[in-house]
Every structure is written in C-alpha cells, then in structure tokens.
Amino acid sequence: MSIAAAKQSSKTGWIAGLTLAILFVFSLCVGVGDMPITRLFSDGRALELLLVSRLPRTLAAILAGAGLAIAGLIMQTLARNRYVEPSTAGTAQSAELGILLVTLLLPSASLLFKSLAASAAALLGTSLFLMTAHRLPPTQPFLVPLFGLVYGGVIGAAVTFVAWEADLLQYLSVWTNGDFSGVLRGRYELLWLGALMVVIAWIVADRLTIMALGRDASIGLGLDYARMLQLGLIIVSVISALSVVVVGMIPFVGLVVPNIVSRLMGDNMRGTLPFVAASGAILVLGCDILGRLLRYPYEIPVGTMMGCVGGLIFLWLLFRRPSHV
C-alpha cells in the first residue's frame, strides 16, 4: 500500500469512526421515553431505560448492520458476483423457513435452538444457491442475482403458505421485516455471535480475497478452496440467521455497502473489511434513527427504511459508473 493510499485509508477510518460515535450517542437520546442525559446517574428510571432499552437497541443495530455488511461481502466473494447478498440469494428466506419449522414442531424451543435451526436451514439454502449460481454462464452476470431473486421468492412463498396454513402469519411478519422496537436487554445478545463471525472473517480475509480469483486460480495458489468455501458459507449463514431471529430481515445492507467500499478502496478484503463493517453499522443505525424521527412518537421499522434508502443507493450504484472506468 502506498503512502497516499495509507493516508486516505486512515482519514476514511477516522471519518467512519467519528460518524458511528455521533450516531451512537444520538441513538441513545432518541425515543418516546424521557431520558434526561443531565440526570442520567441521579435518576434511576433514566438509567434503567438506558440499560434495558436504548443501549441494547443501539448495540443491536450496530452488530446487525456490521454483520450483514460482512455477510454480503463474503457472499459476493463466494458467488463472484457484485449483485447478490443474503436477502436476495435465499439465505434469509431459508433462515425464516428454519425458524418456522421449529416453531411448528417445538413451540417451546429456546431462542438459541431456533438460531441453530435457522443457521442450518440458511446453510443448506445458501449451498443450493451457490451450486446453481456456479453453473450459470459467467458472461451473463445479471443471471445470478435474477436467479437469486426467483430462488428466494420461491422459498419465501413456501414459508408464507406454511405460516398461513398454521395461522402463524402474525409471527412471520416479525421475521420478514426488520424492527428494533422489540429489542431489550436479554433479547439481542445472540448478535454477539455474529460479531465473532466477523472476527473470523477478518482472520481469513486474505484467503477470501484469493477465492475471488476463482476455484482453479485459488487451488493453484495453494488454497484449500473447498474448506474455505465451507467456512464462508458458515459465516454467511450464521450471521444471516441470527439477524433474522433477533430483529428480522433487513434488506440491501449486504448489497450496497460492499459495493460502495469496493469502489472507494478496492477489493483487498484485509484492508476493506473494517470499513465495510463500520459502514454497515452506520447505515443501519442511521436508518433506525431516521425511522424513529419521521413519525415521532411512532416508528417506521428499520426494514422499511432500509428498503427505501437501500433501493435508492442501489439504483445510484447501477447508473453511476466507477470513476476508473
């Protein structure tokens, strides 16, 4: 890395860190309940509101945003396509199917067991997607996301049908549209497992970068391609499943964030992964704050906000060519 590139990376890191810190503090202050910061430690109710609701919600938004952005980056690396992410490749829909089946068969199952079942279903669904995606002609890159949309739509339709037959549509709406309003202390801690997956992704970032060259090139460079593919699938599946179980589906994070960071900083995953995680956290936390303010004292779910904001960003990415082209 050149000196100029290192300085630019450092400057970008400071900007991202400062933005995230400002949003973090602002998120703690925004809400229906009165929480005077000046009397935070002298007012027991204000401190309890902070520890039970505001802080867990803010941390959940940061963890979910960072995890989904990294999951999208890894998914794009595995599929070798810039236009896929867990919510458009059947991963999130498969996780929903896993949760639904556990709810039907074991209604009293714990949240951890539901997360394990959702992760297993997401792993299976993502594996099937990649098996088919790698058979599509590489000269037609838009066939992969198109197939992903159809594939995820079929799984989602099956989930909706089963939920309708079992009179569980009201539960299904919780998983299909991301919402942080129900996040409290004791209901978000599983997302820290997603943070662990992010750490693992950073450890193997160099190998994931090599995987982007393709199977033959990776094997030629001495990489155990099959094992790294399995590890990448596990990381994507666990992060996606935990997000769906805890807060519901949040679209576009894993699609737009890696593309923006890639255009600004290149494709070296070792260097870009921290910025992808920080940008995902900033985007999700910012949309959550915006959803709380637009209809105050009511809320717009973060999944709805991300659908609007993320869709606009995605259209901008499609119609604006990179500067080096």
Residue 325 included in any domain: no
Task: List the CATH number of the domain containing 110.
Answer: 1.10.3470.10
- pLDDT for the residue numbered 226: 84
* pLDDT tens-place values along the chain, 325 residues long: 555 555 556 666 788 889 999 999 888 888 776 666 666 666 667 777 778 888 999 999 999 999 999 999 998 888 888 888 888 888 888 998 999 899 888 888 888 888 899 999 999 999 998 888 878 877 777 788 888 889 989 998 999 998 888 888 877 777 788 888 888 888 888 899 989 999 999 998 888 888 888 788 888 888 888 888 889 889 999 999 999 888 888 988 989 999 999 888 877 888 889 999 999 999 999 999 999 988 888 888 898 999 889 889 888 887 876 554 4
Which among 267, 196, 271 has a CA at the least distance from the CA of 13? 271
**Do residues 160 and 100 lie in contact, with contact meaning Cβ atoms separated by under 8 Å?**
no
* Dihedral sign (CA 161, 162, 166, 171): negative
pTM of the complete model: 0.88
* CA 128 centroid distance within chain: 20
Q: What domain range includes position 286?
A: 3-319
Residue 115 included in any domain: yes
**Do residues 121 and 97 lie in contact, with contact meaning Cβ atoms separated by under 8 Å?**
yes
Residue 287 included in any domain: yes
The angle at the Cα of 122, spanning 252 to 232, to the nearest 5 degrees, equals 80
Residue 324 included in any domain: no
Q: How far apart are CA 64 and CA 47, in angstroms?
A: 24
Residue type, 153: G
Residue 209 included in any domain: yes
Residue 229 included in any domain: yes
Residue 244 included in any domain: yes
Angle separating helix axes 3-29 and 253-265, nearest 10 degrees: 150
Q: How far apart are CA 63 and CA 231, in angstroms?
A: 20
- pLDDT for the residue numbered 34: 62
Residue 71 included in any domain: yes
Task: Give per-residue burial for 250-267: e unless 16+ CB within 10 Å, then b.
Answer: bbbbbbbbbbbbbeebee
- pLDDT for the residue numbered 81: 81
Number of domains forming the structure of the chain = 1
* CA 306 centroid distance within chain: 11
Q: How far apart are CA 55 and CA 53, in angstroms?
A: 6
- Cβ atoms within 10 Å, residue 226: 10
- pLDDT for the residue numbered 325: 41
- pLDDT for the residue numbered 3: 58
Q: How far apart are the first and last CA of the chain?
A: 21
